[in-house]
Structure 1
Amino acid sequence: MNCQICGAHLPDGAMFCGGCGSSTTATPMTRKRADPRPSDTTIIQPLAPRSTVISVPLWPAGSIQAGAVPVPAGTDPVEPGDHAAGAHAAAAEPPATAEAPRYTLQFSTGETVSVRGTGLIGRRPLPQPAERFDHLIQITDLGMSVSKSHLEFGQHDGEFWVNDRYSGNGTVVRRAPAPALRCEPGRRYLVARGSRVEIGDQFFMVL
């Protein structure tokens, strides 16, 4: 008799494999584990402290607050019980139209994507059941510093915005000469063309 996990020969009456320690009744199917979400990210060094930002409240669209400092997650005027990451995103954003500007996202991993409307970016982006997005952009990150559903994006009055989806390593927006801006999860931040958006060890340019 051989172990069904590692293939090692097992003596008669053995209860466990001497090679891998598996039970003699274990099979490859019983050893499979559910895909863990969201604890799937290798945490890297802490990000720099966030600076003054320009952000757009999640509900309603409202006016743009220049120079406003983000408030803690959960204090935006959202619908009751809607504090879960991304649960509000698609409903708040109007559908894309032909007049909406088109943006190009140029990734450090080599991908270049032309987008218009809303989307998710990550290693394996997965919308919530009630969400609808125009784009699902999957990028390669062998170091797993990028979360599966790391970042959400869209447009506000034709301007591009990003929203960190409570990722493991966070999101940073950079555009010289302004200081680096660390995005608070659950808030939308306007990103001008020519900016660099860092997600874990990877980044993309907004053009």
Structure 2
Amino acid sequence: MDNKAELVPASAGKRLGAAVLDWLGPAVVLGIALGVGAAGITERRSNGFIVYDTGLLVLLGSIAVGLTLVYTLVLLGVEARSGNTIGNQLMGIRSADADGYAPGGGIVFLRGLITGGVLLLAILAAILLLVLGWFGLAVFILGPLFVLSVAWAVLVVVSNAWDKQGKLRGWHDKASKGLVFDVSAGRNPVKSGGIAGEYNFAPMDLPPVQQVASPVAMPAARNPVQQPGQPLQIPQPGGPVGGAPHAAPMPLHPTAPHNPNQWQPPVAAPPWTAPAGEPAPVSAHPDDDVERTQLRPGVQAAAPAVLRIRLDDGQNVEVGASLLIGRNPAAMAGESVEQLVPVSDPGRSISKTHLQLRREGDGVWVTDRNSTNGSAVTTPDGIQSRLVPGEAVFVRPGSTVQFGDRFFHLGQA
């Protein structure tokens, strides 16, 4: 696991370097194949028409295009599963989805389609000119198209340099909802729990746990210690168990004077019998009357723990009975809300009223208020689940809740 806990966006230079390393090989193969094939074109006249022999160009071009296609599929598959490519590995960067996990095939395909869109147009134009036999126009059409495709690809790859939100996303990243991180300078989210990270990556700076008085009363001593110089006291029926006061102390030898310095053997108490006509008392245990248990005087019940949320921008909020989180949260008509927590989001990835939190016991019920970009919960053990809009999910302390591009940790103090 990486020692660095921070996420660092990949710079435009590293992005461009990775793209060049990834596609330099296929570009060289295509260039050589097409160059050799074009040089092998011959022409001859037949029935007054000029006929071009393009067999070598078609053969070498088909082989080069086939190899490039296989290479592209393998590269996209590896990146979709791990966020890694040859160029990414050498430049120390990784691509990811909006949550910081492996990007998946959809994001990788859309990113590639946007980056190489003009190149695909140039390839289609080359095929059309080859089919129609307009070789005289090839230089005037294909040349500018290929130059334009390279310029467009470079511009898209480095477009994150103009992103006002910390140079985090390029044009293709915003369209595909993908991200690229510098794992040589920061944490690799793909291998360390996504953007939110494992719970150890972001400990919450919460107040220390408050000590409360124990509500459990200390049991009274059952066997009192005999004080030196005092006669041994033997409990009699009707004593503390029955509720009556203790009988007077019984001396060890009633007929002899008591010498405190001389040890006297204990005398067994005579068996007690109930007076005639009265039933013998039944021995009772203090726990038998469970309905009459009372809190010891002077001791207060333990107060419920304080729950706090800490947002990724450092904002720390104590959770009350209910609160709303969003860009500019507002309660619905007739809804009673105790707290409104506005969150700054220049990229507008979170909705105006994104989440509702309702305190209950030692956790909170979190509900996604039909947001645009959705929400997700990551438990302390790393299990992530997306929130279904309108359905409340119980979240315990130690969990992370992501909403749009932002997130907060739920802690207990």
TM-aligned CA deviation for residue 110 of structure 1: 2.2
Task: State yes or no: 1:146 paired with 2:350.
Answer: yes
The equivalent residue for 2:325 is: 121
Please state if 1:106 is matched with 2:238. Answer: no
How has the CA–CA distance of structure 1 residues 158 and 194 changed in structure 2, closer, same or farther, with 3 Å as cutoff? Answer: closer
Is 1:45 the counterpart of 2:177? The answer is: yes
TM-score w.r.t. length of structure 1: 0.51
Given that residues 323 and 358 in structure 2 are in contact (C-alpha distance below 8 angstroms), is that contact kept between their aligned partners in structure 1?
yes
Residue by residue over 1:112-160, the C-alpha shift from the partner in whole angstroms, topping out at 9 and shown as x without a partner, is 1112210100000011110111100001011100101000001234421
Partner residue, 2:360: 156
- Kindly indicate whether residue 396 of structure 2 is the aligned counterpart of residue 192 of structure 1: yes
Stretches of structure 2 that go unaligned for 5 or more consecutive residues are: 1-173, 179-302
Task: Provide the rounded CA distance (Å) in 1 between the counterparts of 2:358 and 2:305.
Answer: 11
Opposite residue 186 of structure 1, the aligned amino acid is: G
Deviates more, 1:148-157 or 1:192-201: 148-157
- Kept in 2, the 8 Å contact 1:118–1:153? The answer is yes
Change (3 A) 1:190 1:140: same
Q: CA deviation at 1:178?
A: 4.3
Q: Does structure 2 retain, via aligned residues, the 8 Å contact 1:100–1:116?
A: no
1:165 aligns with 2:369: yes
**Letter of the 1:123 counterpart:** R
Q: CA deviation at 1:103?
A: 1.1
| Mapped contact 2:368–2:375 kept (Cα < 8 A) | yes
Partner of 1:26: none
Cα distance 1:116–1:139, how it changes in 2: closer, same or farther (>3 A)?
same
Query: Aligned Cα RMSD in Å?
Result: 2.4
Contact 1:196-1:206 within 8 A present in 2 as well: yes
CA distance in 2, matches of 1:204, 1:44: 24
- 1:35-114 aligned at under 5 Å gives the runs 45=177, 101-114=305-318
CA distance change for structure 1 residues 157 and 112 in 2, over 3 Å: closer, same or farther?
Answer: closer
Q: 1:127 to 1:179 in 2, by over 3 A?
A: same
| Higher relative contact order structure (alpha carbons within 8 Å, sequence separation ≥ 6) | 1
Map of 2:334 onto structure 1: 130
Q: For 2:327, give the aligned amino acid.
A: R
Q: Distance in 1 between matches of 2:340 and 2:309?
A: 13
| 2:385 is the alignment partner of 1:181 | yes
Q: Residues 151 and 165 of structure 1 are in contact (CA less than 8 Å); yes or no, is this contact kept in structure 2?
A: yes
Matched residue SS, 1:187: coil
Partner of 1:68: none
Higher Cα Rg, which structure: 2
Aligned residue-pair number: 115
